[in-house]
Each structure stands twice: as structure tokens, then as C-alpha cells.
Structure 1
Amino acid sequence: MQILRVISRLLDYPDESLVDDEAAMCNIIWQSPLYELTQERLQQFIWKQLDRDLLDVQSEYDGLFERGRSLGLWLFEHVHGESRDRGQAMVDLLNQYREAGLEISQQELPDYIPLFLEFLATQGEINAREGLREVEHILGLLQARLEKRDSHYAILMTALLELAHSKVDLVEVKQRVASEERDDTQKALDRAWEEEEINFMGQQSSCGTGHKPGETQNVKAANLEVPVHWVDFNSKASQEKLAKRTSK
């Protein structure tokens, strides 16, 4: 399903290569099984990206996806946060990538959505659709949050849900998101940093580690080789866990 490669590219960090890839991506979009209106909006998304200065496009991307966690592009973070379950789930996903012959850079975690889409693009239409359905609740959540911020990136999630033949109740998701407090304000970021610092100090005193707060993510990413289990995102337990996290 080549359209997943296009969406993966558009959801990844923007760079100058988009100019060279425009014609090929638009051709794939128009040959995809998406509704015509969705195809038009995806093409308009590309044109909007190309019509602006690259630095402005990159600044917008940073502000959306790298400032706060509510729009984070890491699947398991939306379900598990920083718990041990996230590491276990990532190892299992990484093994699936390797079984499919896909090797990834050590600089990126396996649950990064653009990478996950690249993987699904190699798995055939039926398997790709099933893979999207497993994460449809996260995609729906991201779509609702992007629409709340009037971001044109929301069309990427709309397209993925359409490809999945998703049955997520977006009305209910949007109602839940409407009451969320934004986590990208300076006040929210300061509060999140204070909480992380407190958690780090607690871990340091109990474990005796000497890592700095900024090093904790790298430590976790380097210690993922533990027994794993696959997370069924559509299970009742997973949906309840996701709902509980988003309601905070």
C-alpha cells in the first residue's frame, strides 16, 4: 500500500526533498483507494508545505509534535507513558520489523508512527489495514487534537483512519479532547519538567544511578531487550487505559 509511504513521508520531519518528491507523491495519492475529497486535501497539504519557507514549516512541525506529549508521534507513549510496558511492547514491534527484513536506525524508536507506516506499506493491503486498525484509537485521538488546534496535519490522520476502514467514534473522541488542557504552553511544560525532575530524583535515590534527567530516555531506549508481549490496542483494557490517560 504505497499511499502509506506518502503519508509516512508527510508526517516525518519536513526537509527540502519534498520538492523533488512532489510529483511522485501526488501520483500515488490519486491512485490510492482514498475518497476523492481526501485525495484533494492531501495534495493541498503538499502544496501548502511547498508554498512556505522551509524554516517556517519546520518550526510549525516542532511546535506541534515536539512540544508537549499530547501530539507525540510515538504510539506506545499514548498508552503506556514511560512505564515498563512500553519498552516491552517496543521490543516486540522491533522483532516484527526484523522478521519483515526491515532494519531501523538506532536514532529512532520502533513505535515512531512514520516508521510504523513504512513497515505496514510492505505488508500487503489486508495486513496493512489490520495494522492501522490496531492503532485506530490513537490515530483518532491525534486527529481530534490536531483539529482542535486547526492544524492541516489532521488530514494525515483522517486518511489513515479511512484506509483502516476505522469504526472509531470520532464524535466521542472530540468531545473528550475538547475538555483537555493544552500541554504545549510554557506553564504546562514547566510543570511537566518539574514532575520529571521529581521522578528522576526518586529513581536516583532508590536505584543509586548517576544519570542526568536528559539521559533517561536514552537509557530506556538502550535497555529494551526483555521478554515482550504484543499490545492489542483494540482490547477493552487498552482502550480503557488510553481513555484514562487522555482524561488527565
Structure 2
Amino acid sequence: MPSDAVLYQAAALCLTYPDADFRARLPLLREAAPQLREFVDHAALTPARDLAAHYVHVFDSEGRHSLYLSRRHDDDTRQRGTSLAHFKDLYRAHGLEFTGEELPDFLPAVLEFTSRTGNLDLLAGHHTALAQLRSGLTGFGTPYASVLDAVCATLPTGS
């Protein structure tokens, strides 16, 4: 397990749709991952309906802030299919079967995988996509950028 396992798990939760379960976890997230306090405090103070609307606005806006890592560099449908198969193969190689409702390159799923296995390959291999997402979120002025700031700060330089 990497020393940042708790951060990766907390970041995964922060980047999921903010439903009632999400709100219930905020106090735990605040204590477990101090690097995410800026976002967690914002989420705790924002009315549930407003936070949900903001999430949809940020992450469903024509893919500019897509949480699907392979989407940023795989323009061709076949290329993307190959990338998605690679994600699933890596999950399987670590004894995990991907059964989520989302695609296997969904950033919260990748963060959870990294948290559980300590394998940084997917995050490091998509460092450019993460940096682009981080930049886009920062430019958009959303508190979600601070979650990407914390994740990107843990990745090896030169990835």
C-alpha cells in the first residue's frame, strides 16, 4: 500500500456524485485526508442540491472536464477500447474484477484501485491527462481542482 492510499481513497469519494452517502462521509474524509480539507469544507457548507448541480455542471460539460482518463488521448473508438481493456487487465492482474457501473478508466475507480493495490501505473501513465484535467478545473474555478491538486502532488515527477 502506498503511503498515500488514504488520500487516493478519499479523493475517489470526493470525485463521485455528491449524494446522501457522500454527504454522510464528509466528516470522515475531512479527518482522514487533510490534503482535501479545502474541498471537503466547501462541500459540507454547500447545500446538497447546489453541490449536486455544480457536479453535473462541471463534469457533464461536453467532456472538457471528463473523469475518464483514456478519453483525453484516445480519439479513435478502437484505441479507446484497447485502453479500456488494458485497465481491466491491470485490475485483474491485481486480483480485482472491475464490475462498476462506470467504465474502468473512470478516475474515482482508478484512484480506488491505486489505494487498494499501491500500483501507481494507471495514475502515472495518465499524468498528462490528470494535469490537463487539473488545469481545466482550476481555470473553471471549481473547488474540485483542489482534489486534483492533492492527487497530482503525490505522483512521481517526470511521469
TM-score normalised according to structure 2 size: 0.88
The structure whose Rg is larger is 1
Distance in 1 (CA, whole Å) between partners of 2:15 and 2:139 is 18
User: Is the 1:75–1:111 contact (alpha carbons within 8 Å) kept by the matching residues of 2?
Assistant: yes
* Cα distance, 1:63–1:116 mapped onto 2, change above 3 Å: same
CA deviations 1:53-108 (Å, max 9, x no partner) are 21111111111111201111111110013421110111121121122232333521
TM-score if structure 1 supplies the norm length? Answer: 0.58
1:103 equivalenced with 2:107 (yes/no) = no
Superposed CA RMSD: 1.7
1:24 CA drift (Å): 2.3
Choose which of 67, 73, 82 in structure 2 pairs with 1:79.
Answer: 73
Question: Where has structure 1 moved over 4 Å in runs of 4 or more?
Answer: none
Structure 1 residue runs without a partner (length 5+): 31-38, 168-233, 235-248
User: What is the distance in 2 between the residues matched to 1:98 and 1:137?
Assistant: 24
Q: 1:166 to 1:160 in 2, by over 3 A?
A: farther
Range 94-103 or range 144-153, more displaced: 94-103
Give the secondary-structure state (helix, strand or coil) at the position aligned to 1:157.
Answer: helix
SS of the residue aligned with 1:146?
A: helix
Question: How far is the alpha carbon of 1:29 from its aligned partner?
Answer: 1.1
Query: Shift of residue 8 of structure 1?
Result: 0.5
Q: Alpha-carbon deviations, 1:153-199, whole Å to 9, x = none? A: 111111111010334xxxxxxxxxxxxxxxxxxxxxxxxxxxxxxxx
Q: Which residue of 1 aligns with 2:124?
A: 133
Higher relative contact order (CA 8 A, sep 6+): 2
Distance 1:104 1:54 in 2: 29
Distance in 1 between residues matched to 2:127 and 2:71, nearest whole Å? 15
Is 2:30–2:41's contact at 8 Å kept on the other side of the alignment? no
What is the aligned residue count? 155
The one of 141, 147, 155 equivalent to 1:150 is 141
For structure 2, list consecutive stretches of 5 or more residues without a partner in the other structure: none
| CA distance, structure 1, for counterparts of residue 157 and residue 57 of structure 2 | 28
Contact 2:7–2:151, Cα closer than 8 Å, also in 1:
no
How far, CA to CA, are the matches of 2:141 and 2:53 in structure 1?
16
Are the equivalent residues in 2 in contact too, given 1:5–1:121 (CA < 8 A)?
yes
Q: Distance in 2 between matches of 1:131 and 1:84?
A: 19
Counterpart for residue 195 of structure 1: none
Amino acid at match of 1:76: S
Task: Work out the CA distance in 2 between the residues paired with 1:107 and 1:47.
Answer: 28
